[in-house]
Amino acid sequence: MPKGTNQKFKLYRLAQIMMEKTDEEHFITMPEILKELEAYEITADRKSIYNDLKDLEQLGIEVEGEAVGNRYHYHVVSRAFELPELKLLVDAIQSSKFITERKSNALIKKLEKLVSKHDALKLQRQVYVSGRIKTMNESIYYNVDSIHNAITENKKIKFQYFQWNVKKEMELRHGGAFYHISPWGLSWDHENYYLVGYDSVEEKIKYYRVDKMLRVQMTEEEREGKEYFKKLDMSEYARKSFSMFGGDEQQVKLLVKNELAGVIIDRFGKDIMMIPVDAEHFSVNVNVQVSNHFLGWIMSLGAGVKIAGPDEVVERMRKEIERLSNQYNV
């Protein structure tokens, strides 16, 4: 029997048909396969399709045939990602603050191509997260890529840094001058990406919100600050700092109500020692970078947590409370 037309595209289109039209719950028959191929102006006989379905395994596409009555029903039985895994990825994308709405939709559309059209409908989900506001800086993905490339190439980067003003306009800091920083890593804190970089002018490690960086470019200068970064334990730093706002590191003693044990463990981990004080309270010593954000976190826990020492941290909290009292004429 002579070969059909457009044979060089047949295996590709067959793979496309099987991936798009079938899954664990949806099947396709041989007449339907031939009809789908005809839509691409590809003609073929049944015997060649049987062989092609076997050949798809060489491409990593496993197809299974099941006898139903006097016909066989065919479907793809394994994929790179299972549907629950893709649902998890979609949920993560939708709930992520740093991914813009437009980019979220584009990424999810790409994930939909990894499943059949039937399962793709199940990926069109909506995750609601309280208070979630998506970032408005579309360039964040390219910023992250540029930073990783510079780290790989051991080069410095330069970029402009902005803040929002009261008119809701981007306002460049330092008069629009470029920052020249040696990138050493990226940190994820409070749903924001931060560049961890060395400032050779001030000779210190600094942190920059990646979504507030503009025109990120890799330079020809070699990175500096390796010895400073080696001393930095990023996971430990993230646990000690609050919203990446640094301060003097100190050991602080907290007096905590028992019902807030979970809050303390979530923040500082299970390795801390929680010492019972009475039937309702325990004390704990934590190493933190004492900043206004740390004091604000303590205040947010209300009567459940009290700073018990050292005296200078207690005094700093008193002054902050006094400042707030004066600010609100209490």
Which CATH number is 238-327 given? 3.30.70
The C-alpha atoms of residue 204 and residue 232 are separated, in whole angstroms, by 11
> What gap in Å lies between CA 181 and CA 198, rounded to an integer?
6
Q: Please compute the mean of the pLDDT values over residues 88-102 and round it to a whole number.
A: 83
pTM, 2 dp: 0.61
Alpha-helical runs (H) found in the chain: 10-21, 30-39, 46-55, 83-95, 101-112, 117-122, 140-153, 226-230, 234-240, 261-268, 292-300, 311-327
Q: What stretch of H or E contains 164?
A: strand 155-164
pLDDT score for 193: 84
- CA max distance for the chain: 95
pLDDT in tens, 221-263: 999 999 988 877 766 666 555 555 566 789 999 999 999 999 9
pLDDT at residue 34 tops 90: yes
Per-residue pLDDT, 244: 54
Cβ count near 314 (within 10 Å): 15
Q: Is residue 74 pLDDT above 70, yes or no?
A: yes
CB 139 within 8 A of CB 130: no
Mean pLDDT in residue range 264-275: 89
- Single-letter amino acid code for the residue at 288: V
* Residue 8 confidence (pLDDT): 79
In the chain, the percentage of residues whose pLDDT exceeds 90 is 55
Confidence at residue 17, expressed as pLDDT on a 0 to 100 scale: 95
Residue 129 has pLDDT above 70, yes or no: no
| Class of residue 168 by CB neighbours under 10 A (exposed 0-12, middle 13-18, buried 19+) | exposed
What class, spelled out in words, does domain 7-76 have in CATH? mainly alpha
Q: Mind listing the pLDDT tens digit for each residue in 288-304?
A: 989 888 999 999 999 99
d(CA 54, CA 63): 7
- Range with the lowest mean pLDDT among 3-12, 235-244, 281-290? 235-244
Given a cut of 70, whether residue 48 has pLDDT beyond it is yes
Angle subtended at Cα 71 by Cα 24 and Cα 57, rounded to the nearest 5 degrees? 50
pLDDT at 211 over 70: yes
Domain ranges of the chain: 7-76, 83-122, 140-231, 238-327
- What's the pLDDT score for residue 252? 95
